[in-house]
Structure 1
């Protein structure tokens, strides 16, 4: 096959060797998949958009990972927390508190997964029912099977990712290169502890300051020789306030005026659901009509979740696991909606133990206006919520699935992309139930879904 090959730089011998490496890579990839690893190739769907936008051609062509890949493309900005492996107890405690604060704000922690500040911040987030992304410089395969990460990986709260061979050992160059990926996967960064002029924390912070990827904040220290002081005085980093009322301020660019942070926001956001439609939705099942309960045309899954949460927690708050079980949804899906609700002020999070509930309805009025006269008509938002909480998620999914497959069969990817407020795992579970209940037909080669004949 290579008898007619002529090239000055790529000789037939070298090309033959490269082809052999391709076969070896295929065997290795099969081994990694058996261990639960996945890979993302630029620019395929699922590859982190932030890496492509900020690094361009310098973004790694392949990412290996384990856990919940969707955490690499979060809807809400993530916070990078970095620091020395030899941080003291005070710095470690601060890192843990910062991770917990990010979890309460519905944000992921992005770190390098190393001993010290990185793991303390991740632990703070995960212990507070938050999520984290660890960008590893080596040993992904070992980390993926480690007891240290088993529980958060299984629960979907953690993603481990690496740009190098999952079985590669430690390499200084790889460790330095991964620092840029930590910054570029987040939208703001905090340096907790750094040595001046040396080390990965210092070099990564300096590179971010030079490139301007994300806002850079540094924890204050009284040590004049610390890297923290050097980053502020020489590299243009900003000092982290001693008291921070809102993490949102960390994501403001340096030249933007800080947004005012109110102590409490009164009033309700616009209802995420619309009045119910009078037209029932139906689908064929096993040769006969199967009528799905009436579903509002503009109802979103997140909107239904909020309505059901308001009804379920009217008397007392519930844990995330209890909510997932009561609503018959995946724990990862419940966690994502709860985090979004907390961030938007539509869900209230209580502690000791951690539970959730719909916040009490409050309305603010200008001081110079009298209160409105009572009306005999019910509040349409409350009435809508009270009528919606009896709707099941599977019924809503079936209604949307009927709409998607009305013209032609569609793939699971098509369904997941059209339902942008639902995780891919949850879509797969609902599809499985629809097939088992003969409400949808599964086609093979390629796998697609269509209405029953």
Structure 2
């Protein structure tokens, strides 16, 4: 864990976290999410914050909170200081960081979209800035055939080539296939886990990706927690909330976490547009999701096509009621939730016609589906593209010889976290390559290096002549 826990976060952990997973005597009295939400609202009304419950004069606050949560129960939970110190040591040894909803660096997308219902605590490992990048969420069932696995891996690779983050849940099947495709193509991935965070961050392959800044894993549940169906269902809304759009590759009809999450997103939450796979074998569940307001996946053939598909997708992000500089230092004011701008309605894409577009890498499997009748007009150039081009030029200019992360940080004078994100996109593009000769090095492909050096020599000679 790379961050120091704030007093607010310590208090929230004591109230809501098991600290020692599997110890029933430590978990039986924990505050449920709804109980903590009520307590947070009550503390705000008292002009207090969670950290005040740890102060020497906390007895009066506990007495005033009796009507919300039993004071004796709160006192017992807050007295678990030794268990908390043990848990912190364990998390820190595994590189797990902790952030609470009272912290300013809590993911803004979860704060804006989930508001009072955002998890009280998030555990994670890896580059936290990836959580603010949006991207494409890809979800689906655990038990799938090889054709769907190959299809989903191709979606992951395309997402990486488009320099978009892949968001998924880390479960067996579709989730892992999407994440694997993106990571193998050098892309960035946000994995929202329902269980086993501690085990996942200790996985050798994951560890390298976490350290290289390609992968971030987060969970609202204790790092040592095992699988729980309810937890798996609840984390789905976090996947959608962290993305710009979502693709449902497959689902069971009217059952399972994928179906429940998609239906909740389409009917209630409406954070992002939901697409469904529009090629391959027919699916009763996907057809039903189309009838509930999902869109057919337009099957982009290249990175530009995927960027365009996401750019024209309807935006359903909630606006924040408070300017960032006015965000409360402790828990946000729950009473401001009702003042948020309403969710923007989902606007359908262009009219559609029937097509039998083959599934990428599986041309033998087809399904009649609705796809856009005509491509939308190209959007104006995104300022992010200009920023990307400038960063790319700066990085290429200092790579006349292979360099380590540290050497690049010194040369470019930017933060390591931001640099890793740029390097990941450039590796995915093929503009640079990453090698492991005596450590991780970044270098230009041979031909590009020759061209760059030749151009530099020519410029030097021209300058000398003048």
TM-score bucket of the superposed structures, by smaller chain: 0.5 to 0.7
CA distance in 2, matches of 1:306, 1:256: 36
Count of aligned pairs = 319
Say which SS state the counterpart of residue 97 (structure 2) adopts. strand
Counterpart secondary structure, 2:75 = helix
The answer to whether structure 1 residue 152 and structure 2 residue 217 are counterparts is no
Corresponding residue number in structure 2 for 1:37 = 96
Map of 1:197 onto structure 2 = 254
Match among 71, 86, 95 for residue 27 of structure 1: 86
Q: Does 1:123 align with 2:240?
A: no
Provide the residue aligned with 2:421 in structure 1. Answer: 336
Contact 2:392 2:426 in 1 (8 A): no
Mapped partners of 1:3, 1:106: distance in 2 = 52
Partner residue in 1 for 2:11: none
What is the alpha-carbon distance in structure 1 between the residues aligned to residue 390 and residue 272 of structure 2? Answer: 32
Higher helix share: 2
Does residue 260 in structure 1 map to residue 392 in structure 2?
Answer: no
Matched, 1:218 2:305: no
Question: Taking structure 1 as reference, are residues 89 and 190 closer, same or farther at Cα in structure 2, changes over 3 Å only?
Answer: same
Partner of 1:79: 136
Q: State which structure, 1 or 2, has the greater radius of gyration over its C-alpha atoms.
A: 1
Local SS of the residue matching 1:115: coil
Judged with a 3 Å threshold, the aligned counterparts in structure 2 of structure 1 residues 335 and 9 are, in CA distance, closer, same or farther, namely closer
How do residues 176-191 of structure 1 correspond to structure 2 at under 5 angstroms? 176-191=233-248
Question: Does the 8 Å CA contact 1:223/1:229 hold for their aligned counterparts?
Answer: no
Output the aligned Cα RMSD: 3.9
1:228 is displaced (CA, Å) by 1.6
**Within 2, Cα distance between the matches of 1:304 and 1:351?**
16
The separation in 2 between residues aligned to 1:355 and 1:2, in whole angstroms, is 57
Which of 50, 55, 65 aligns to 2:109? It is 50
Matches within 5 A, 1:376-391: none
3-state SS of 1:125 partner: helix
Does the C-alpha gap of structure 1 residues 52 and 13 become closer, same or farther in structure 2, counting only changes over 3 Å?
Answer: closer
**1:207 CA drift (Å):** 1.0
Residues 213 and 421, structure 2, Cα contact 8 Å, conserved in 1: no
The CA deviation at 1:304 is 6.8
Q: CA 1:165 to 1:3, structure 2 compared with 1: closer, same or farther past 3 Å? A: closer
Q: For the residues of structure 2 that align with 1:15 and 1:326, how far apart are their CA atoms?
A: 50
Q: Structure 1 residues 53, 244: closer, same or farther in 2, change over 3 A? A: farther
Shift of 1:152: 0.7
Q: The residue matched to 1:193 in structure 2 has which SS?
A: coil
Question: Aligned match of 1:309 in 396, 399, 405?
Answer: 396
- CA shift, 1:30, in A, is 2.6
Is 1:228 the counterpart of 2:265 in the alignment?
no
Counterpart contact for 1:141–1:167, Cα < 8 Å? yes
Q: TM-score, normalised by structure 1?
A: 0.61
Q: Distance in 2 between matches of 1:98 and 1:355?
A: 27
Q: Which moved more, 1:156-165 or 1:331-340?
A: 331-340
Query: Is the 1:46–1:73 Cα contact (8 Å) retained in structure 2?
Result: no
C-alpha distance in structure 2 between counterparts of 1:193 and 1:145, whole Å: 30
**Bigger Cα displacement from structure 2, 131-140 vs 214-223:** 214-223
Counterpart secondary structure, 1:137: coil
Distance 1:322 1:229, change over 3 A: farther
Deviation at 1:68, TM superposition (A): 1.2
Compute the TM-score of the two structures, normalised by the length of structure 2: 0.59
Q: Which ranges of structure 1 fall in alignment gaps of 5 or more residues? A: 273-300, 361-381, 388-453
Residues 35/307 of structure 1: CA separation in 2 closer, same or farther (3 Å cut): closer
Distance 1:312 1:142, change over 3 A: closer
Question: 1:114, CA displacement in angstroms?
Answer: 0.7
Q: Is the Cα–Cα contact under 8 Å of residues 140 and 174 in structure 2 kept in the other structure?
A: yes
CA contact (8 A) 1:99 1:122 kept: yes
Q: Secondary structure at the match of 2:377?
A: coil
Q: Structure 1 CA distance, aligned partners of 2:143 and 2:257?
A: 13
Tell me by how many angstroms 1:170 deviates.
1.4
Any idea what SS the aligned residue of 2:125 has?
Answer: strand
Q: Which residue of 2 aligns with 1:405?
A: none
Query: Which of 1 and 2 has higher RCO (CA within 8 Å, sep 6+)?
Result: 2
Q: Say whether 1:140 aligns with 2:197.
A: yes
Contact 2:168 2:179 in 1 (8 A): yes
Structure 2 residues not aligned, in runs of 5+: 1-56, 315-346, 351-374, 436-441, 449-454, 461-466
Tell me if the contact between 2:160 and 2:188 (Cα under 8 Å) persists in the aligned partners. Answer: yes
User: Is the contact made by 1:105 and 1:342 (CA closer than 8 Å) also made in structure 2?
Assistant: no
Q: Tell me how far apart the structure 1 counterparts of residues 395 and 131 of structure 2 sit (CA, whole Å).
A: 29
Residues 139 and 197 (structure 1), Cα distance of their counterparts in 2 relative to 1, 3 Å cut:
same
Change (3 A) 1:51 1:308: closer
Q: Is the 8 Å Cα contact of residues 190 and 217 (structure 2) preserved in structure 1?
A: yes
